Amino acid sequence: MSDTVLFALEAALNGLTVGIMYSLVALGFVLIFKASGIFNFAQGVMALFAALTLVGIQTGQVPFSHLINAALGTNIHDFGFTLPAILSIPLTVGVMVLMALLIERLVLKHLVNQEPIILFMATIGLAYFLEGLGDIMWGAEVKPLDVGIPQGMSSTVDEFTYNLFGYGFYIDVLSLWALGIAAVLVTALVVFSQYTKQGRALRAVADDHQAALSVGISLRFIWVLTWSIAGIVALVAGIMWGSKSGVQFSLSLIALKALPVLILGGFTSIPGAIVGGLLIGVGEKLFDFFMQPIIGGATENWFAYMLALVFLLFRPQGLFGEKIIERV
């Protein structure tokens, strides 16, 4: 095979693995949108907050230490212990569930039956609040995150492809893990929604709010449930992205990478989020590969949006979205 084909193939493979990372973020959006029709802009900040909390618990940081020190003149920073990942992850999940509960109590409950744009705005307000809260609780420094997921070039893939083509492909081990974790996560979600009582209730609510209410499903419980699940998905996304770059403010910006995935895949479809992520990942890597010499690089930020936009012109509801039926 010629070099160009090999290089393009390598770029496409890397696109697939990055696409899975995008899908992880997009999944959280889909879950909440499906269950409550809310476009949750705070999903990215939730990932940041979850990752910050995880690191904070792992390293035994005192929450709000900066605030306490400023107010009381003390000088405390950490409890002086470290927790293994196996303990700190469940604790963080607990924090995310608590957060879902509070969001439902304090925000969503009061906004029932509002227009989608109002709910969307509320989640932007929530994003601001969490951003400030995360910084005040855990501080604004970069924090290394290590839960034991390996990273670096996969030698197996490298050797295998070298023997096959005479050129070793580069694949990050971290993204192979992401692939596995995404598979587990999606399977778990499917099993949960198909075979448990709560899962069925969840699907009923997603189908028709009023019908679900009329057969006695508690809408509020379902909301807490979906926000908790979205919080857990945010934690997973936060761990994967945070392992790569350390946990810092920019982590919240990955939400912007997930939006084109959403419109491509459709707001309401879990398979859509996965397929959309893969398409965007491959598309942007290949576009960069072929167009870089002509128009220069750094096209990832807008290419995904352009791809989604062009796609929408032909299929306004996204790849797997529900067909939009309009009545007068």
Looking only at residues 132 through 161 of this chain, which bind other proteins when binding is defined by CB under 8 A? 132-133, 135-136, 140-146, 151-153
Residue range at the interface with other proteins (CB under 8 A); choices 79-87, 176-184, 199-207, 308-316: 308-316
Residue 83: both structure tokens together: 């927790």
* Rounded least distance, CB 177 to other proteins, Å: 13
Nearer to other proteins, 185 or 241 (CB): 241
Per-residue binding string, other proteins, 160-199, x by CB under 8 A, is: ----------x-x---------------------------
Name the DSSP letter for residue 321: P
Nearer to other proteins, 94 or 316 (CB): 316
Residue partners of 252: CB distance under 8 A and separation at least 6? 44, 45, 47, 48, 127, 131
Among 124, 179, 204, 213, binds other proteins (CB under 8 A): 124
Nearer to other proteins, 66 or 203 (CB): 66
Among 28, 260, 277, 283, binds other proteins (CB under 8 A): 260
CB 30 within 8 A of CB 276: no
Regarding 5 and contact with other proteins (CB under 8 A), the answer is no
* Rounded least distance, CB 119 to other proteins, Å: 9
Maximum distance among all alpha carbons in the chain?
A: 69
- Interface positions, 57-76, toward other proteins (CB under 8 A): 66-67, 69-70, 73, 75
* Rounded least distance, CB 195 to other proteins, Å: 31
Regarding 49 and contact with other proteins (CB under 8 A), the answer is no
How far apart, in Å, are the Cα atoms of 127 and each of 130, 171, 270? 5, 33, 23
Q: At 151, is the secondary structure helix, strand, or coil?
A: coil
Regarding 25 and contact with other proteins (CB under 8 A), the answer is no
Among 177, 223, 227, 241, binds other proteins (CB under 8 A): 241
Regarding 56 and contact with other proteins (CB under 8 A), the answer is no
Regarding 39 and contact with other proteins (CB under 8 A), the answer is yes
How many chain residues are in contact with other proteins, going by CB under 8 A? 93
> Measured between alpha carbons, how far is 187 from 2 in angstroms, rounded to an integer?
38
Per-residue binding string, other proteins, 195-234, x by CB under 8 A, is: ----------------------------------------
Q: How far apart are the first and last CA of the chain?
A: 57
Nearest residue to 223 via CA among 104, 68, 90 = 104
Among 60, 149, 249, 319, binds other proteins (CB under 8 A): 249
Q: At 150, is the secondary structure helix, strand, or coil?
A: coil
Q: What is the DSSP string of 178-223?
A: HHHHHHHHHHHHHHHHHHSHHHHHHHHHHH-HHHHHHTT--HHHHH
Of how many residues is the chain composed? 328
- Interface positions, 271-300, toward other proteins (CB under 8 A): 284-285, 288-289, 292, 295-300
Among 86, 215, 325, 328, binds other proteins (CB under 8 A): 328
Regarding 262 and contact with other proteins (CB under 8 A), the answer is yes
Regarding 312 and contact with other proteins (CB under 8 A), the answer is yes
- Interface positions, 101-120, toward other proteins (CB under 8 A): 106-107, 110-111, 114-118, 120
Nearest residue to 54 via CA among 21, 15, 83, 17 = 83
> Measured between alpha carbons, how far is 285 from 277 in angstroms, rounded to an integer?
12
Give alpha helix (H) positions in 215-315. 219-245, 255-265, 270-295, 300-314
Name the DSSP letter for residue 170: P
Nearer to other proteins, 50 or 201 (CB): 50
CB 238 within 8 A of CB 47: yes
